[in-house]
Every structure is written in C-alpha cells, then in structure tokens.
Amino acid sequence: MFKGSTFIDNLTINDFEVYEDGKLQKIEAVYLIKKTKIEREEEVTRKKFTPEVSRNFIFIFEIRDYFPEIGEVLDYFFNNVLLPGDTLEIVTPIKTYSIKNNALDILPKQEIANQLQGKLRKDIKMGSADYRSLCKDLETVLNTEGLEGDLKKSMSMVILRRLKELRYFDQSKLLKLSDNLKQIKGQKHVFLFYQKKIMPIPTFLEPQDRLDLQKNIFFDVETIKRAYSDSSISSHFLFLTKTPMYVLDITRGTSFENSEMQMEDHSYEIFSAFSEMAKATGGLIESSANPGFLFKRAAKASENYYLLYYAPLNYQRDGKFKNIKVIVKGKRYKVTHRAGYFAN
C-alpha cells in the first residue's frame, strides 16, 4: 500500500475491499505488520487468527557477471534486514546455499556475508564460463579464412543454439521452488537478480534463423504466476541493465571490424514474463545497473504490509484458480497483492 514510494500505515479494516472472482467478500480481520511485529490488529469476528510473521528470503542470481555491488547487497541484507529467526536461501548458477534461522547463533553476520560473497563470485564465474567459451568459438568461426557460405552458417548456428540453451530458465525448477516454499510457514520473499541477455548474431543469418534465436521463453508464464501466487510468495524482479562482459570482450576487439557480427538484446520476452510474475505475487519490478540499489528498494518495500483475512463466499474445493482483487476505497494508492489461489 503505497503513495508514491511511501508506505501507508494508517489504514483500517473499513478502508479495504476484497473481491474474489469479481464478488465482494467480507473481511474478517486486518493486521498491520512491520518487519516481524504485529503493529496493529482489527478483528470483526470471534474467530482468532494467528498471523505467521516469520520471514524466509530467497535470492536467485541469474547473471553472467560478478558485480562488486553484490557485496553491498549482502552487507545491507545482513546488517539492515536479517533478524533472528529469518532464513536465507541463495540460488546461484551452480548450486544452492541455505542459511538457517539459527545461523546468527553460530557465526557473526559479517563473516557469513563474506563467505557467501566468495561463493557467489566463484559460482557466477563458473556459470558464465561456457557462455564465454562459446562466444570465443563463434569468433573463431567468423574469422576463419576460407570458411564461407552454408558451412559457415551451419557452424555458427550450432554454436548459437548452444548459447540459446544456456539462457534456458527451467520451469520445473521454478515450480519445485514454489512447491517447497508453499510448505514453509511465514512470509516468503524471492529476489530474482536477472542480467539482460545479449546475443552475438552474425549478419548473414536468414530472418527465420534470427527469429528462432530470439525466442527465449521456455515456460508457461500463466502457470508460474498462479503457482507462485498460490504459494503466497512475494517475488521481486530486479533487472540488471549492465552490458555483460562477454559482449564488451567481443566488441572491444578488432576481430569483427568486417561487421559480420551484431549484438542483439534478447531480454524483452523474459523481462515481460518475470514482470508479470512479480505483479501476480505483489512484488516489485525494478531495473538498474546497480544490484545494490535495486535490492535496497525492494527490501524496504517488503518490510511493511497488511495481512487481510476473509472466508470466501460459497467456497468449493473445485481445484480452480480464484482471482483476488484488493482495493483501498476512495484512494489512488498503489496496491500490490497476490493474484489468487487454487481452491484445493
């Protein structure tokens, strides 16, 4: 609930309206939560609710370069966000690291942050090694004397298709993460750091080949949106606009002065998909070259929120997805919330 970038913390139960599949619902309780504390509560029923205010943070790094500002992300998180009882999971291009809710009882915050920073740096560089190697292979093909026509095109397409496969964002992994988080009590905040994807494209490719290489959505957006909304996950999409280093390595060289290579941004579809996912879960969509700046904005926005309880009218366990709409009566506030749930 925001007016501009300011969270509105003085709303009452009478300020809200909740609709499910277009039908107005009766709100039974509203809680104002700040970090992990219930600051205010209103209940209009004898039924007692027990809000789960524990927090689970998940960082997903889908990036090709290690940014020095990632250290700022971890330092800010450990010094300004993480509280006793919180959990953290970090997903890198190589593996997943879990920080349990008792980690602060074992090691100082800064030592944990420093260890994670080292692991992230190593994993991100390892994860981008294949991409860089393939770019070099493409460079070699384009600069091999006497290699012309269909053979040159065929060899280039083999490499480009492998590059495309490395952009694959696995739907099964996203759904597995959603299923796992659904079983966890409390608030679940996912921060997806995604660096824009630029493909080196030879100018001699046919239009159909270029179109095929641009298609980079490998999952059903609506399925992911509904799964994350149903799991009560708040997903923040943090889009890193900085040009990947493998592009700079290629363009700063002299190998392509013959203009046989173009750099094309293939981020549009994935940007649209993850933006929709963030909207469906009540998360933010932010873009910048600085991951530290992006994370601070998203982290601050996730600290304060309202929990609304209602019992759906004529509820049936029909397995269908129920769409939710929340409004603040008579106000033009920015309202973010989950898109709905499955009636299972």
* pLDDT for the residue numbered 310: 93
* pLDDT for the residue numbered 257: 47
Closest CA to 85 of 69, 67, 104, 62: 104
Q: Which residue do the tokens 């630029």 mark?
A: 198
Comparing 151 with 255, which gets the higher pLDDT? Answer: 151
Q: What is the mean pLDDT of residues 199-210?
A: 85
Comparing 224 with 249, which gets the higher pLDDT? Answer: 224
- Identify the H or E element spanning 176: helix 171-182
Strands, sheet with 321-328, edge to edge from the N-terminal-most edge strand:
23-25, 16-20, 321-328, 340-342
Amino acid letter, residue 258 = N
Strands, sheet with 27-34, edge to edge from the N-terminal-most edge strand:
37-43, 27-34, 304-310
Does 179 have pLDDT greater than 60? yes
Q: What's the whole-number average pLDDT of the chain?
A: 87
Phi, psi of 328 (to 5 degrees): -105, 120
With contact defined as beta carbons under 8 Å apart, do 88 and 82 qualify?
A: yes
Q: What's the CA angle centered on 155, arms 154 and 159, to 5 degrees?
A: 115
Return the half-sphere exposure (C-beta side, CA atoms, 13 A cut-off) of residue 42. Answer: 14
- Quick one: angle between helices 149-165 and 109-142, nearest 10? 170
* pLDDT for the residue numbered 132: 85
* pLDDT for the residue numbered 248: 66
Question: How far apart (Å, rounded) are the C-alpha atoms in residues 75 and 60?
Answer: 17
* pLDDT for the residue numbered 261: 77
- Among 24-28, 69-73, 184-188, 277-281, top mean pLDDT goes to 24-28
* pLDDT for the residue numbered 342: 94
* pLDDT for the residue numbered 249: 66
* pLDDT for the residue numbered 168: 66
What pairs with residue 264 in β-bridges?
Answer: 199
User: Model pTM greater than 0.95?
Assistant: no
Does 252 have pLDDT greater than 70? no
What is the per-residue pLDDT across 138-170, written as a single tens digit (0 to 9) for each?
888 888 888 888 899 999 999 998 888 876 667
Question: How far apart (Å, rounded) are the C-alpha atoms in residues 175 and 228?
Answer: 8
What's CA 167's distance to the chain center, in Å?
15
What is the per-residue pLDDT across 2-25, written as a single tens digit (0 to 9) for each?
888 889 999 999 999 999 999 999
DSSP character at residue 100: -
Q: Kindly provide the b/e burial profile for residues 138-160, where b requires at least 16 CB atoms within 10 angstroms of the residue's own CB.
A: bbebbeeeeeeeeebbebbbebb
- For every residue of 116-174, which 3-state class applies, written as one string? HHHHHHHHHHHHHHHHHHHHHHHHHHHCCCCCCHHHHHHHHHHHHHHHHHCCCCCHHHH
What is the per-residue pLDDT across 87-106, written as a single tens digit (0 to 9) for each?
999 999 889 998 887 777 78
pLDDT classification of 322: cutoffs 50, 70, 90: very high
* pLDDT for the residue numbered 253: 52
* pLDDT for the residue numbered 256: 45
* pLDDT for the residue numbered 197: 85
Using the Cα atoms of residue 140, residue 142, residue 145 and residue 149 in order, give the sign of their dihedral: positive
3-class SS shares of the chain: helix, strand, coil, % to 5: 40, 30, 35
Comparing 261 with 310, which gets the higher pLDDT? Answer: 310
Cβ-based neighbours of 261, under 8 Å, separated by 6 or more: 142, 200, 201, 202, 203, 250
Question: How far apart (Å, rounded) are the C-alpha atoms in residues 142 and 136?
Answer: 10
Q: What is the mean pLDDT of residues 183-208?
A: 88
Q: Which two tokens stand for residue 282?
A: 């009540």
